């Protein structure tokens, strides 16, 4: 089972099933469709749920479209996406960085 961690401010969206996708860079877990997932809070590592990856798309950040926001929080433009991702991944993130757009099922623990 693979672990995905989420910032505290995103947990309520997960628990209400409003958030059904996540965008990840530099995938060191080799995430793929049908992987079983354990969802945790990044701050304290508490388990919040389990799920399965149902779809996965890879593309450069600059190519994110309206369709990619399904089940994900919104950003004004590519620059805001980059600034948000730099909080998690550092200053190497740019418009050419490859993002994995991951859709998943979720069941509360």
- pLDDT value at position 14? 95
Residue 82 dihedral angles phi and psi, to the nearest 5°: -60, -45
CATH code for 2-108? 3.10.400.10
Q: Which residues contact 30 (CB under 8 A, 6 or more apart)?
A: none
- pLDDT value at position 54? 98
For residue 16 the two structure tokens come to 């209400």
Domain ranges for the chain, please list them. Answer: 2-108
pLDDT higher than threshold 90 for residue 55? yes
pLDDT tens digits for 78-90? 999 999 999 999 9
């Amino acid at each position: 089972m693979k672990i995905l961690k989420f910032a505290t401010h995103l947990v309520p969206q997960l628990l209400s099933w409003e958030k059904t996708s996540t965008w990840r860079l530099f995938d060191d877990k080799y995430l793929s469709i049908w992987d079983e997932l354990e969802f945790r809070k990044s701050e304290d590592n508490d388990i919040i749920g389990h799920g399965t990856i149902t779809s996965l798309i890879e593309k450069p950040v600059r190519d994110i479209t309206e369709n990619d926001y399904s089940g994900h929080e919104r950003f004004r433009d590519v620059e805001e996406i980059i600034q948000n991702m730099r909080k998690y991944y550092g200053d190497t993130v740019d418009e050419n960085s490859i993002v994995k757009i991951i859709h998943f099922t979720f069941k509360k623990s």
